[in-house]
Amino acid sequence: MAKKGEHRIKVGLVCTVCKNRNYVTTRNKINTLEKLVFDKFCKHCKKITQHKENDKLK
């Protein structure tokens, strides 16, 4: 039986405005080949900004 989550990797989400890493999420490296982009609230910019996937966290 295949373990759930074995293809999920942790990635950081970085604000494209101030470059701070505000979120950590996971993505399925099998299903999701493109970089993730989310509109999320940045506590540094104090507004909703675009957050892009940045580094992979082990």
CA dist 40 and 51 (Å) reads 6
Using the rule CB under 5 A, is 44 a contact of Zn ion? yes
Asked if 18 and 45 count as a contact pair (C-beta separation under 8 A), the reply is yes
Q: CB 36 → Zn ion: shortest distance, Å?
A: 16
Cβ atoms within 10 Å, residue 50: 14
Q: Residues 1-40: x/- map of binding to Zn ion (CB under 5 A)? A: --------------x-xx----------------------
What are the residues binding Zn ion (CB under 5 A)? 15, 17-18, 42, 44-45
